Amino acid sequence: MILASVLTTNLAILVLAGFIGFVVVSKVPNTLHTPLMSGTNAIHGIVLLGGLLLFGLADLSAFSKALLVIAVAFGTINIVGGFLVTDRMLDMFKSKPKPKPAEEDSRPDRLPPGGKVADGKAGNTKAGDGEAGS
Amino acid sequence: MTSLPMATFLQSESFIYVLYIVAFALFIQGLRGLSGPTTAVRGNRIAAVGMAIAVVATLLNPGEGNWGLIALGLAIGVAVGVPAARRVKMTAMPQMVALFNGVGGGAVAIVSWVEFRGLGSTYGSHTVEIGGEVIHTGGVATYVAIFSVFAAIVGSVSFWGSNIAFGKLQEILPGRPISLGSAQQIVNLVLLILAVAAGVDLVAGAHSELLFIGMLIVAALLGNAVVLPIGGADMPVVISLLNAFTGLSAAATGMALNNPALIVAGMIVGASGSILTNLMAKAMNRSIPSIVAGGFGGGGAVEGAEGAGEHGGTVRSIGAADAAIQLAYANRVVVVPGYGMAVAQAQHAVRELTKELESRGVEVSYAIHPVAGRMPGHMNVLLAEADVPYDQLKEMDDANPEFQRTDVSLVIGANDVTNPAAKNTPSSPIYGMPILEVADSRSVIVIKRSMNPGFAGIENELYFDPKTSMLFGDAKSAVSEITAELSAL
């Protein structure tokens, strides 16, 4: 009979999670490394759970409670901020394939017809102005 | 409450445990989504759902109390986190990640502290005898104390280290290495030994909160001492490393609190951070210990200066009009962005330029060095923000063979990652570092503020190459100028 204590079970989970982490994260391409970082950042905000669990301890002193409020706030900032920022970033990646055909359409950029041409030129002049200013 | 069978079920240990399993399964599934840009958004949201489930599961815990304070903490977190995440500019992403990483580490350290305040009086009084039976003589198990103390130390290091990294990236602190010179490593070592010694003493039953606070402070000093001497260009490594630290400390907290969701989530982050740290270090051809030991600038500058003397070549400086003509008549242009593009926030200007080139039938792609910028994938995010199709972004290994059939390489604010000395000059401090081989292309245009050497303090022999032209100026204005000239052609 193998003695499976809470410790050994948790150690098994720890080790397996490590291997899974390596396998899964190895498949993330360089392009997505920043979102990967901010996404995993959000995930380690899970330490929020630690703060929440400890709020269940009996006879917490006022100081302990104050500390826990900070811990919960920190964890929440980490989670909410991390996931939102990652979402914002990934949205930019996701919308990528569409602009390409659109931009091929606007290829005859310097031929007269259409508002698009005007837009392009305005953009360029603006950029030029910005440079002159800076 | 307990009389309601439904409530009893929802609050049962098994149900909560199952929710945790669902949560970590969602984390893993979410991360799998990050393997491609099209599935990534969904992946991130799946992970977020997992997080929500984990939080709800914890709140179901029958022992849970202090609801008002929990609500307060959550409200503060949302009130700070949401606007920060919404408003941050893409160019400021490295600092944001550092900051979020820091608060995570801070939360870990505080949780351990409160745990010690609640249970620390029993540390060391626990004995186990395995003679067929396990005997608890009161108090928490020794391993709980060990993991808790470990989490406290690593969390504190991560909190302070990340804040210093944030300060450097935000330019509140100077980006150059701040170190004690040769004494630095000894100081770091002493701090580490002190922190570990205090931790061991606590686990053994030193029931002193003062000692615990002392340990947190020593760990805080260690976090400062480790990150302060690290210069700007090593930031991708440091941020990844701190990310791994926070993850591991969260996993340790999970071990101490017997919480599977925390263990799995923390460990996955630890693995991810370690992989990134390794990749970054490899891309700089430096070992992680040597980066943590600090200071790249000093020694390298001297050696580099000697190397520069050998060239003594002349640098060809051109104007935007010449650059525009060169680009306009190219068939294939590769843009090589670096930190200079991020600093000048030139990504949109670059996109305008490449659009103009594409409209003339020039084939444009981007070559991205793994350590370009201040965090892993930094350039990719900026270019994605500027609407560059991601299939135009080439990783180093794919980009290098292409340079030979490239007419013009346009280097924007990148320096050391293009330096041929890494290939040709064994005495160079960056010798052996994988580089983008722009020198293979037919001609090179480098947009740069001045002839100042890059972060490594090494003269770039690329600039003395006869086929290289230098366009001096701020990346954004220089690029816009070229675009303007180009559309006037």
Tell if the CB–CB gap between A37 and B260 is shorter than 8 Å: no
Q: What is the pLDDT of residues B106-160, one digit of tens each?
A: 999 999 999 999 887 777 766 555 565 655 555 678 888 999 999 999 999 999 9
Could you tell me which of B444, B448, B438, B445 has the C-alpha nearest to residue B477?
A: B448
A44, A65, A78: best mutation site toward chain B, by most B Cβ within 10 Å?
A44
Q: Using a pLDDT cut of 90, give the percent of chain B over it.
A: 47
d(CA A31, CA A11): 33
Residues in Cβ contact with B473 at an 8 Å cutoff, skipping those fewer than 6 apart: B447, B449, B481
Residue of A nearest to B83 (CA): A81
Q: Which of B69, B74, B377 sits opposite A31 (nearest CB)?
A: B377
Query: All domains of chain B, ordered by start, with CATH?
Result: 1-87 (no CATH), 91-292 (no CATH), 311-488 (3.40.50.1220)
Q: What is the DSSP letter of B335?
A: E
CA A18 to each of CA A21, B151, B271, B446: distance values in angstroms, whole numbers, following the listed order: 5, 17, 6, 43
A96 touching chain B per CB within 8 A: yes
Domain borders along chain A are: 33-107
In terms of Cβ atoms closer than 10 Å to its own Cβ (0-12, 13-18, 19+), residue B428 is buried
| DSSP strand pairing (B363-368 vs B332-337) | parallel
Which three-class secondary structure state does DSSP give residue A128? helix
Q: Is the pLDDT of residue B73 over 50?
A: yes
d(CA B205, CA B142): 10
B480 touching chain A per CB within 8 A: yes
Q: Which of A25, A50, A120 sits opposite B31 (nearest CB)?
A: A25
The stretches of B228-360 forming alpha helices (DSSP H) are 235-257, 260-283, 288-292, 297-311, 320-328, 339-343, 347-359
Which three-class secondary structure state does DSSP give residue A119? helix
Angle between helices B209-227 and B183-203 (to 10 degrees): 150
The full DSSP string for B28-47 is HHHHHHTTSHHHHHHHHHHH
What is the 3 state secondary structure string of A35-56?
HHHHHHHHHHHHHHHHHHHHCC
Residues in Cβ contact with B411 at an 8 Å cutoff, skipping those fewer than 6 apart: B336, B338, B418, B438, B444, B445, B446, B447, B448, B462
Tell if the CB–CB gap between A47 and B108 is shorter than 8 Å: yes
Q: Is the pLDDT of residue A1 over 60?
A: no
Residues B334, B406 contacting (CB under 8 angstroms) = yes
d(CA A31, CA A59): 49
Which three-class secondary structure state does DSSP give residue B472? strand
Average pLDDT over every residue of B159-172: 91
B395 touching chain A per CB within 8 A: yes
Average pLDDT over every residue of B290-319: 55
CB atoms closer than 10 angstroms to residue A15:
11
Q: Is the pLDDT of residue B416 over 90?
A: no
A95 touching chain B per CB within 8 A: yes
Q: Which chain A residues are closer than 8 Å to B251 by Cβ?
A: 14, 17
Q: Which amino acid is at B4?
A: L
Q: What is the pLDDT of residues A16-41, one digit of tens each?
A: 999 999 999 999 988 899 999 999 99
Pick the more confident residue, B215 or B427.
B215
Q: What is the pTM of this model?
A: 0.83
